[in-house]
Amino acid sequence: MFERFSRPPRESPIGSYRLDVLSLPEECDWEHYLPQEILYIFRKHAEYKERIKTILSQGKAIGVRTVTRTPENILKAINSISVYSQHNYIITWLPKLLHEKHRPVFTSTDYLRAKSHGEDLDEAVETILKDRLRFKRLVLIDEENIGILPQEQRLMTELSELIYPIAVDYSVFRVIADNAQERTKIAQAIIKMLLLIGPAAHALEKYVSGLGKLFAASADDILGESAELMALRGSGFTWRELAKRGKILIPVFALATWGAFSVEGLIEDGHIIKAGIVFGLSAVALSLTTAIQSIFMYRRNIVQLAKEEKISIRDGKTFTRLAFIQDFTNPARLGLILGASLAPVMGIAGSLLGLMHNGWILAGIGSTESIVAGITVIMAGRINEWKFRHKLKKMSG
């Protein structure tokens, strides 16, 4: 929970890590306090428990070194392969590369495209493979400075081989999670800015009825759309690709503005539920349109991967499923689509409760998307960490 306070204040080009240390022989019997990696060894290979106790009683300690932030050179290598060869996809090739050393397929066009941007695809693959098992390692610490013996070195090699399944799974988890965070830095900053809309909308609605509704709906939608665009741009889509589908956004925004203006009249005419739906959709029209379009963009790209024989999948339903998964591994995109889906529901609730003239409630409804997205962005790292720890506990039996 408090891990972020122990991280370096600024990003390190070589990554950052934590070290959990087992120093005393009796600690081996305190299962509740053992690092999960050591517990995994004891439960799957109980014969190593006494050997570890022996080495701990001789002035040594065993540490579990865990990378907590992927080094920048690896993230850069992943981005190069994704953008210049894999049509902005990660999930179709990176897990296989890390688990099985199964290299992504590159075409001559890919090599030329990467070279024109000063990148080498084969070198990028080697960068990822070189450190794939360094994300979680067991290290021997000579606490008494008496020297490390050859048999102790051999034991550590054996122990590292025993936790190979954990090390590989963790490298996949860490790299994909950090890559998603890296791709959406600007989008996440915009989402956090959206949380300032509430006070402004309250002030406007207090002095000019109806203006607060327009501001809450429009400002949230425009900034939400900006976050969507930056999230897609961070995922590798070019401005040209994004501009092609931008023409539809102008009429959508005009319709959303008209909808926000219409809410007051709908309430006065007694169309309460309709007013809530219209206001909720007006607040998310742009970003919801972009969300739908982005799924089609990812689906088009995975079809292209299949045509280039970079993946073996040919099933249309699988294409769509992978497009969804790739799109929403991005915490900013996931948060925005969840928020956009909830906005109409919150609008109906606000209308039924007669709260559409309360500036704070109004701002809350209009900002449902940004609130949900902000919470998702903030909690994404913690949720991913919890999911991996839960998986690790299951592996440990």
Contact at 8 Å (CB) between 187 and 231?
yes
Q: What is the pLDDT of residue 204?
A: 56
**Alpha helical stretches, state H, 117-248:** 121-130, 150-162, 164-183, 185-194, 197-207, 211-234, 239-244
Q: What is the pLDDT of residue 195?
A: 55
In the chain, the amino acid numbered 70 is T
* Separation between Cα atoms, residue 302 and residue 86, nearest integer Å: 9
Q: Look at the block and give the residue holding tokens 């909830």.
A: 342
Contact at 8 Å (CB) between 179 and 90?
yes
Contact at 8 Å (CB) between 145 and 367?
no
Per-residue pLDDT of the chain (397 residues; tens, 9 = 90+): 434 433 444 455 555 888 899 999 999 998 888 888 999 999 999 999 999 999 999 989 999 999 888 888 898 999 899 999 999 899 999 999 998 899 999 999 999 999 998 999 999 999 999 888 888 889 999 988 888 889 999 999 999 889 988 888 888 888 888 877 666 555 555 655 555 555 555 555 555 555 555 555 556 556 665 666 666 666 667 767 666 666 777 787 777 777 766 776 776 777 777 777 777 777 677 777 777 888 888 899 999 999 999 999 888 899 999 998 888 877 777 777 787 778 778 777 777 777 666 556 666 666 676 677 777 777 777 777 777 777 777 776 6
DSSP 258-304: HHHHHHHHHHHTT-HHHHHHHHHHHTTHHHHHHHHHHHHHHHHHHHH
Q: What is the pLDDT of residue 356?
A: 63
Query: Which residues, other chains included, contact 63 with Cβ-Cβ below 8 Å and sequence gap of 6+?
Result: 19, 20, 21, 22, 138, 139, 140, 141
Axis crossing angle, helix 331-352 with helix 211-234, rounded to the nearest 10: 160
Phi, psi of 8 (to 5 degrees): -60, 145
Q: What is the pLDDT of residue 78?
A: 92
**Number of neighbouring beta carbons within 10 Å of residue 266:** 20
Q: What is the pLDDT of residue 26?
A: 92
Q: What is the pLDDT of residue 211?
A: 54
Q: Is 182 exposed, middle or buried (0-12, 13-18, 19+ CB in 10 A)?
A: middle
* Separation between Cα atoms, residue 28 and residue 285, nearest integer Å: 57
- Stretch (H or E) spanning 235: none
Contact at 8 Å (CB) between 37 and 65?
no
Report pTM: 0.72
Residue among 196, 193, 195, 191 at smallest CA distance from 330: 191
* Separation between Cα atoms, residue 126 and residue 356, nearest integer Å: 58
Contact at 8 Å (CB) between 344 and 285?
no
DSSP 135-146: SEEEEEEETT--
Phi, psi of 103 (to 5 degrees): -75, 145
* Separation between Cα atoms, residue 355 and residue 350, nearest integer Å: 5
Axis crossing angle, helix 368-395 with helix 331-352, rounded to the nearest 10: 130
